[in-house]
Structure 1
Amino acid sequence: MDGPRFEPVRAVRAYERVVEQVEEAIEGGTLSPGQRLPSERELMVQFSVSRSTVREALRVLQARGLVRSRPGDPNGAEVLPFSPAALHKSMTTLARVEELSLAELVQFRMVLDSSAILLAARLRTDAQLADMESAVAGMRAAVEAGHDAFGEADVAFHDVVARSSGNKLIQICMDVVRSIVLKLIAEKIADAPDREALMRQSIRHHEEVLAAMRAGDGPLAARLSRKAMYDYYAGYVPAAERSSLRALLD
Structure 2
Amino acid sequence: MGGPRFEPVRTVRAYERIVEQIEEAVETGTLTPGHRLPSERDLMAQFSVSRSTVREALRVLQARGLVRSRPGDPNGAEVLPFTPAALHKSMTTLARVDQLSLGELVGFRMTLDAAANLLAARLRTEAQLAEMDAAISAMRAAAGTGYDAFSAADVAFHDAVARASGNKLIQICTDVVRSIVLNLIAEKIAAAPDQDGLMRQSIRHHEEVLAAVRAGDGPLAARLSRQTMYDYYVTYVPAPERAALRALLD
Shorter-chain TM-score above 0.5: yes
CA root-mean-square deviation: 2.6
State how far apart, in whole Å, the 2-side matches of 1:237 and 1:225 are: 18
Q: Map of 1:44-123 to 2, 5 A cutoff?
A: 44-69=44-69, 71-80=71-80, 82-83=81-82, 85=83, 88-99=84-95, 100-123=100-123
Amino acid at match of 1:52: S
Cα distance change, pair 17–202 in 1 and its aligned pair in 2 (3 A): same
* 54-63 or 122-131, which deviates more: 54-63
Q: Map of 1:1-250 to 2, 5 A cutoff?
A: 14-33=14-33, 35-69=35-69, 71-80=71-80, 82-83=81-82, 85=83, 88-99=84-95, 100-250=100-250
State how far apart, in whole Å, the 2-side matches of 1:28 and 1:150 are: 42
Cα distance change, pair 163–243 in 1 and its aligned pair in 2 (3 A): same
State how far apart, in whole Å, the 1-side matches of 2:200 and 2:182 are: 18
Amino acid at match of 1:89: A
Amino acid at match of 2:88: T
Deviation at 1:178, TM superposition (A): 0.7
State how far apart, in whole Å, the 1-side matches of 2:144 and 2:18 are: 55
State how far apart, in whole Å, the 1-side matches of 2:197 and 2:10 are: 50
SS in 2 for 1:210: helix
Q: Deviations over 1:150-175 (max 9, x none)?
A: 10110111111111111222111111
Count of residues in Structure 1 that have an aligned counterpart in Structure 2: 245
Instruction: For structure 2, list consecutive stretches of 5 or more residues without a partner in the other structure.
Output: none
Contact 2:65 2:86 in 1 (8 A): no
Contact 2:115 2:222 in 1 (8 A): yes
* 69-78 or 149-158, which deviates more: 69-78
Cα distance change, pair 163–75 in 1 and its aligned pair in 2 (3 A): same
SS in 1 for 2:144: coil
Cα distance change, pair 49–116 in 1 and its aligned pair in 2 (3 A): same
Deviation at 1:39, TM superposition (A): 2.7
Deviation at 1:24, TM superposition (A): 2.6
State how far apart, in whole Å, the 2-side matches of 1:49 and 1:36 are: 19
SS in 1 for 2:249: coil
State how far apart, in whole Å, the 1-side matches of 2:8 and 2:245 are: 35
Q: Deviations over 1:94-150 (max 9, x none)?
A: 112222111111111111111111111111111211121121122122221111111
Cα distance change, pair 248–79 in 1 and its aligned pair in 2 (3 A): same
State how far apart, in whole Å, the 2-side matches of 1:18 and 1:59 are: 11
SS in 1 for 2:38: coil
Q: Deviations over 1:161-193 (max 9, x none)?
A: 111111222111111111111111110011011
State how far apart, in whole Å, the 2-side matches of 1:185 and 1:6 are: 44
Amino acid at match of 2:137: A
